[in-house]
A and B are shown apart, each in its own frame.
Chain A
Amino acid sequence: MHTLSIYEARRWLLEKKISSVELTQCFLDRIHRYSHLNAYITLSEEQALASAKKSDERIAAGSSTGELDGIPLAIKDLFLTKGVRTTAGSKILHNFIPPFESTVSQKLLDAGAVFIGKTNMDEFAMGSANITSHYGNVINPWSQGDKKLVPGGSSGGSAAAVSGHLCVAATGSDTGGSVRQPAAFCGIIGLKPTYGRCSRYGMVAFASSLDQAGPMTKTVRDAAIFLQVISGHDPKDSTSSPESVPDFASFVGKTVEKMKIGVPKEYFLEGMSSEIEDAWKKGMDIMRDAGAKIIEISLPHSKYALPAYYIISPAEASANLARYDGLRYGFRAENIKTLIEMYEKTREEGFGDEVKRRILVGTYVLSAGYYDAYYTKALQVQKLIKRDFTEAFKKVDIIMTPTTPSSAFAIGEEPKDPVSMYLNDVLTVTANIAGLPGISVPICLDKLNRPLGLQFIAPKFREDLLIQHGYILEQNASFPTLREIA
């Protein structure tokens, strides 16, 4: 029962093979059994069972219409959930109970979803291994033996929860790769929509011009169903797009014959393992066999994407995180005498090292005298990267790349200097910089039995192409479902 996809679970529920309460209880039991994975920060067991019961009543009454009615989901702890603690993985919000619901989670609730809990994440979504969380690191369910693998980040808790079958699907958020990279590390589907496709209202902001909510699911079809629910313009988010939302599920199973798939030569990274290259080639073979054409393309400014990202995102974060001052909500340091002392102690004790590092970097790059050298330059780079993609999409319909330059690494074996750690996002970050949609689809396991993923990047508002191509890849990759958690 716990391995069911949204699509399957919905059928089973409507056919009354299972009840939502049973399904929910099954996940709650598994969460407790595998609590060492530390995938969740906060569980809402009673609320989950109560809402599952209501779903069952609707199903019994034949009035169940929501596409997610009765489906237990996990919500990344970055989405504000009314009445359920939301920490963003930070001590500074350790006691924050939101008085309102984020638009994305509200849409899921409106579709009948059952929320079982809030998943662990890198603090304020800043990290690629889920080791910056104040609530402890998350363990990748694919870990074997003594080596505990990271799940990737920042949506590491969601990725672990989905791949370890501790929920049917989960929300993630992706600023530089935070949905796709952990999806690749955990062998699941992670889709980052076009910037503006989903509302950011009620998502704890990291880098506002890049942040985007996205589904983390077991199948591509689920990603389509999930994306359908959370997409659409929101008057509460001025950056959300009025673009019409197509029927994503209708692209499941659509042929890719004659489609042109671009393979950017710049993504053959120096020092990238041959296993990654082999995985990529396997993907090319699958797509070619399905009738698509593989075309080499160039995205010449790709190498500047990561540096630009690490200027733009900390700059925005330095302002976005200024509101955590201990005054109105969240953590406030004790024994303070002055306003300045309150700011200093609260933020010193409330934020972790990575968050502080990025606030400092962001403050620095926006400072008088440095602004043009860093921030203005980064925006210029962003323009060039956008242009690269515009040019590329004149030649091809979609782009395929590896999602990550490596498979998941063991906790404790992660790069010790922050810059090497940042390289985890090197293949995903361009899509954020360009505002484009991307999906990571598991392709195979490496020699160490660790999942690898491939990424598709499509033009703006062409998530339909991601579904179409992702599904073909998924169906032919025969990636195994995780059965045993060590």
Chain B
Amino acid sequence: MKYIETSTGKWEVVIGLEVHAQMISNSKLFSAASTKFGAAPNENVSFVDAAFPGVLPVINSFCVDQAIKTGLGLNGTINLVSHFDRKNYFYADLPQGYQISQYKSPIISGGHVEIEDENGEARKVRLERIHVEQDAGKSIHDQSPTKSYIDLNRAGVALMEIVTMPDLRSADEVSAFIKKLRSILRYLKTCDGNMEEGSLRADVNVSLHRPGTEYGTRVEIKNVNSIRFIVSAIGFEVDRQIEVLESGGIVDQETRLFDPATGKTVVMRSKEDAQDYRYFPDPDLPPLILEQSRVDRIRETIPELPDAKTARFQRDLGLPHYDAALIASEMEIADYYEDALTHLPSGDAETAKILANWMLGELFSLLNKDGKNICESNVSPKNLAELIQLIKTDVISGKIAKDVLKIMWDTGKSASVIVEENGLRQITSAADIDDCLRAVLAEHSDKVAEYKNGKEKLFGFFVGQAMKKTQGKANPQLLNDVLKKLLGEK
């Protein structure tokens, strides 16, 4: 366990999360309205979403499937009977005056997500539950000095609330947890994990206590919507609570808001102001009853998830854990990688590693430069594999290969075509290299003399000159060998 040490002793940080993940679904949880992001305000609003008199919610069966899939992917228990409740509160962007949620009996109980702690050891973060609920709309306060506007496009969109046990012990662990959770949800295609668009946001519960003593009073930080903000909110909150506790104060059980501008959390409401949501079963919705066969059918659609994939890449391909985990973090990246691998004649550990290096290094930097994701890559898996094959078979050097990849990126042509068109094939004939080097040494007889007098770093100069003569095509190893031999002769 990682403790925080101050002059007064050790503190242990305890963190639990309530993650709100917007579900991938074409229509809303209880209405047929579209969920498409970026529509004009109030474009995707049905009478149900706007809570007209007499309207009734009807559960979207696809959203139920998505919840089941998520539950299975996060190792939870699917409850074959669950209930919907009304959570009552007034707000302008909550048209019904209540949110339909699951309070007493959620669709998923339990589950866990595996993360690595700071020592690289696997650690299970237990989940308490996952339930399904409606999102609220949006209040817009910055369009007019005197008026607020309401956009109900988001009202009624399906959310999954994923509640962890208080198993997290540092901001780093929280960050690792959310990254892993996001990765799994994206694999399952149940949440796009897009934090900028608000598809994934978290309420963070933080408390401090002396190791070996009972947990301290927790403070809830509401609705933080980026990993960076979550990390700084926790950092601020831990410092604040330490200061309060060490100066003899007590931490109030309260709800705070994180202000990204100042990096501070501020009180939103105290325990005394805590709302009474008056949960009760929604009489418009009968219990949600699932057939085991439905759960089983969905179980079969669960893809290989990142942890299993990472393990397989390590085991079967011999990739180091770091590379394997990085490739497995996104299904599209893993698919690209595995696709490329099928185009390589040898699947040995060396090939797997070279491919990983080129993909995670050169290809990713090209993708980043153009702001593209792997699915939008200008270089297909097959073409990248061919490039790797050209390197492996010494047709081109690694150095030339970087240039080739750049041309591939710009033109979409295959590596072999580029090599042929530009005559980039590596010179691997010892005789040709010998000829070239002899010419270089002849041209620079003065430098040869200096070399012989002990200025040995001129070796690099001769290599450079030879590379220049061959437009970089000389096989570097061969060039070195031949040069050593020639300089030794003289």
Residues of A within 8 A of B (CB): 79-80, 86, 88, 93, 96, 98-100, 102, 200-205, 207-209, 235-239, 315-316, 318-319, 321-323, 325, 327-329, 339, 343, 363, 366-368, 371, 375
B95 and A327 contact, CB distance less than 8 A: yes
State the CA gap A329–B98 with chains docked (Å): 17
B283 and A207 contact, CB distance less than 8 A: yes
Residues of B within 8 A of A (CB): 47, 50-59, 86, 88, 90, 92, 95-98, 148, 150, 276, 278-280, 283-286
B51 and A201 contact, CB distance less than 8 A: no
Nearest B residue to A124 via CB reads: B53
Tell whether A325 pairs with B97 under 8 Å between CB atoms, given A208-B284, A238-B285: yes
**Nearest-Cβ distance from residue A333 to partner chain B, whole angstroms:** 15
A319 and B95 contact, CB distance less than 8 A: no
B283 and A209 contact, CB distance less than 8 A: yes
A322 and B278 contact, CB distance less than 8 A: no
A201 and B55 contact, CB distance less than 8 A: yes
A239 and B286 contact, CB distance less than 8 A: yes
A201-B55, A207-B283, A316-B283 known; 11 new pairs, CB 8 Å cut-off, are: A93-B53, A102-B54, A201-B56, A209-B283, A238-B57, A239-B285, A239-B286, A316-B280, A322-B90, A322-B97, A363-B278
State the CA gap A221–B283 with chains docked (Å): 32
Nearest B residue to A328 via CB reads: B50
Tell whether A205 pairs with B51 under 8 Å between CB atoms, given A323-B95, A325-B97: no
**Nearest-Cβ distance from residue B147 to partner chain A, whole angstroms:** 11
Question: What are some 6 contacts across the A-B interface (CB < 8 A)?
Answer: A208-B283, A237-B58, A239-B56, A322-B88, A366-B279, A366-B280
Of B52, B53, B58, B88, the residue contacting A236 (CB under 8 A) is B58
**Nearest-Cβ distance from residue A213 to partner chain B, whole angstroms:** 11
Nearest A residue to B88 via CB reads: A319
State the CA gap A99–B52 with chains docked (Å): 9
Chain B residues positioned under 8 Å from A209 (CB to CB): 283
Tell whether A86 pairs with B53 under 8 Å between CB atoms, given A238-B59, A319-B86, A327-B92: yes
Of A239, A366, A367, the residue contacting B284 (CB under 8 A) is A239
A204 and B54 contact, CB distance less than 8 A: yes
Nearest A residue to B278 via CB reads: A366
State the CA gap A96–B22 with chains docked (Å): 33
Of B47, B59, B96, B280, the residue contacting A322 (CB under 8 A) is B96
Tell whether A339 pairs with B148 under 8 Å between CB atoms, given A322-B97, A323-B95: yes
B286 and A323 contact, CB distance less than 8 A: no
Chain A residues positioned under 8 Å from B88 (CB to CB): 318-319, 322, 366
Nearest B residue to A196 via CB reads: B286
A238 and B284 contact, CB distance less than 8 A: yes
Chain B residues positioned under 8 Å from A207 (CB to CB): 283
Chain A residues positioned under 8 Å from B283 (CB to CB): 207-209, 239, 316
B92 and A236 contact, CB distance less than 8 A: no
Of B50, B52, B58, B276, the residue contacting A238 (CB under 8 A) is B58
State the CA gap A325–B53 with chains docked (Å): 12
Chain A residues positioned under 8 Å from B95 (CB to CB): 323, 327-328
Tell whether A339 pairs with B56 under 8 Å between CB atoms, given A319-B86, A366-B278: no
Nearest A residue to B57 via CB reads: A238
